[in-house]
């Protein structure tokens, strides 16, 4: 036997002996780390050990949807809000992250790996996956083809809640006819058919109705009690001036004023500015329609620029719950932080994170105003966005800043230029290099901008992007889900998106 073999066998025997003795040694509390970390971890373990599912069915369902709110968005928003509150940020938890049950949700559609909001929200509302661009229809309906939609309609959770005698509500920062809110009540093969002006002649001839009209012509129960968001233009005729912007008019070509039609049919109070919204007393107002912009509502950080004023997402959520919970049978409310997605499409992480933080505040309001023994709260996203959180930033650095070393100096990439911790895989943030030299006149070259003198933490900064596109695409990875209250324990593991509908119904005892 060679000396090398003897050494190898001896080493293996020594390792085996160490492993045997280590199995007998008791584990000791580590002394080389901050004991607060150890104690906090132990407290969390004890909390989870004591966690018990709440008995009974949910008398109320609240579904929060952060449009485009992927995992990197949640992490970055958590750090930003924690830093705003005076901490280093990383240890902070957004209010919805404090809910006890979590899951991952697969977001693909029947026809796309990376989905859109129409098909994904339809899955959550109907229990059936469908095609991109399609609302409230199964996958046999072809996008933009009215004839193919005949007989393909699916009952939504909101419609079923109305059939059960529950109160229902929609709150969003987008147009109330936009894909996510529309998926709760509309059935159409084209998400963009928001007003009759958007319908092509062949769709009108085949009998398809625009989304705004479907909100007014809603046939289930006694109609939707609360509708709050943007989108006045889709409800007003082209002959009507907008009340806030006199140079703008409605878009409808059929001459209908659907705001007046909604008020007349449902006896609703209508508001379009902050003062009117604040004056609407939830103890007196039975139904509330609020349309605060011709199109989407302003970003949260820009609300102060609106002369007429707009309520925040948290304020709209609070008032909606106060009105809906007057129904003793229960209520279903869908709340969308819709402009997270829009800011991401623009490559503007600052506004996307601010919108995510506002969604968390809306969840906080809902938790304060409801009883967890009677109310199920679920927070998730329809899809993700290609926000990338990377680099080597030190703990406590502004999540919006350039990556710095421990002396505060920007870290340089291989091209000699600084870079930010937040970037996009694609979008408008790709830098166009100066043209020069013969043969380059008709060629566009992309590279990286020198961020040395750029304040990347300001609200208007658009993060760098790898692949140049006019706007970012969606992303295809799973999205997080957070749940608390009656029935929340069923939300765990890796879920197909359409399973959310079935779990919500199960929690409510439908």
Give the pair of three-digit tokens for residue 140.
Answer: 């046999």
Asked whether 76 and 387 are in contact (CB, 8 A), the reply is yes
**Sheet containing 387-389: order of strands:** 387-389, 422-427, 465-468
Angle at which helices 349-369 and 313-324 pack, to 10 degrees?
A: 30
Q: CA 212, CA 170: separation in Å to the nearest integer?
A: 14
Name which of 324, 92, 122 is nearest 228 in CA terms.
Answer: 324
Name which of 263, 271, 58, 93 is nearest 166 in CA terms.
Answer: 58
DSSP symbol at 336: E
117 in active site:
yes
HSE, CB side, 13 Å, CA atoms: give it for residue 402: 19
Task: Tokens 């069923």: give the residue.
Answer: 490
Q: CA 226, CA 490: separation in Å to the nearest integer?
A: 28
Q: Which of 2, 72, 88, 117 is catalytic?
A: 117
Q: CA 473, CA 1: separation in Å to the nearest integer?
A: 65
Give rounded-to-5 percent helix, strand, coil for the chain: 35, 20, 50
Task: Tokens 């966005």: give the residue.
Answer: 385
Catalytic residues, by residue number, are 117
């Amino acid at each position: 036997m060679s000396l090398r073999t003897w050494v190898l066998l001896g080493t293996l025997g020594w390792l085996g002996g160490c492993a045997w003795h280590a199995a007998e040694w008791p584990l000791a509390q580590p002394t080389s780390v901050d004991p607060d970390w150890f104690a906090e971890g132990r407290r969390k373990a004890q909390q989870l050990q004591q966690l018990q599912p709440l008995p009974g069915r949910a008398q109320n369902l609240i579904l929060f949807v952060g449009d485009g709110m992927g995992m990197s968005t949640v992490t970055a928003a958590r750090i930003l809000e924690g830093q705003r509150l005076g901490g280093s940020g990383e240890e902070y938890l957004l209010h919805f992250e404090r809910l006890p049950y979590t899951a991952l949700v697969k977001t693909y559609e029947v026809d796309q790996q990376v989905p859109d909001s129409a098909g994904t929200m339809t899955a959550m509302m109907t229990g059936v996956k469908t095609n991109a661009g399609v609302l409230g229809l199964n996958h046999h309906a072809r996008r933009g083809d009215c004839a193919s939609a005949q007989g393909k309609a699916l009952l939504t959770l909101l419609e079923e809640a109305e059939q059960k005698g529950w109160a229902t509500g929609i709150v969003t920062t987008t147009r109330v006819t936009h894909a996510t809110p529309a998926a709760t009540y509309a059935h159409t093969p084209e998400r963009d058919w928001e007003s009759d002006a958007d319908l092509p002649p062949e769709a009108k001839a085949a009998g398809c109705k625009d989304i705004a009209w479907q909100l007014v012509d809603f046939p289930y129960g006694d109609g939707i009690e609360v509708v709050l968001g943007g989108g006045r233009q889709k409800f007003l005729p082209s002959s009507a001036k907008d009340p806030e912007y006199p140079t703008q008019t409605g878009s409808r070509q059929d001459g209908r004023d659907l705001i007046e039609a909604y008020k007349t049919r449902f006896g609703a109070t209508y508001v379009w500015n902050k003062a009117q919204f604040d004056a609407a007393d939830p103890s007196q107002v039975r139904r509330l329609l609020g349309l605060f912009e011709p199109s989407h509502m302003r970003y949260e950080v820009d609300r102060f620029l609106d002369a007429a004023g707009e309520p925040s997402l948290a304020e709209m959520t609070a008032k909606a719950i106060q009105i809906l919970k007057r129904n003793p049978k229960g209520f279903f409310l869908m709340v969308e932080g819709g402009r997270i997605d829009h800011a991401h499409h623009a490559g503007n992480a600052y506004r996307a994170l601010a919108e995510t933080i506002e969604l968390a505040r809306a969840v906080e309001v809902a938790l304060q105003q409801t009883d967890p023994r009677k109310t199920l709260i679920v927070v998730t996203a329809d899809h993700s966005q290609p926000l990338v959180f990377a680099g080597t930033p030190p703990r406590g650095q502004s999540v919006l800043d350039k990556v710095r070393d421990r002396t505060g100096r920007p870290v340089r990439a291989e091209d000699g230029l600084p870079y930010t911790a937040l970037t996009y895989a694609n979008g408008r943030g790709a830098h166009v290099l100066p043209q020069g030299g013969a043969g380059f006149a008709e060629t566009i070259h992309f590279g990286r901008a020198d961020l040395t003198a750029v304040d990347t933490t300001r609200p208007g900064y658009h993060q760098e992007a790898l692949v140049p596109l006019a706007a970012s695409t969606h992303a295809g990875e799973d999205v997080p889900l957070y749940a608390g209250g009656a029935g929340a324990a069923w939300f765990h593991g890796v879920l197909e998106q359409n399973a959310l509908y079935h779990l919500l119904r199960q929690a409510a005892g439908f």
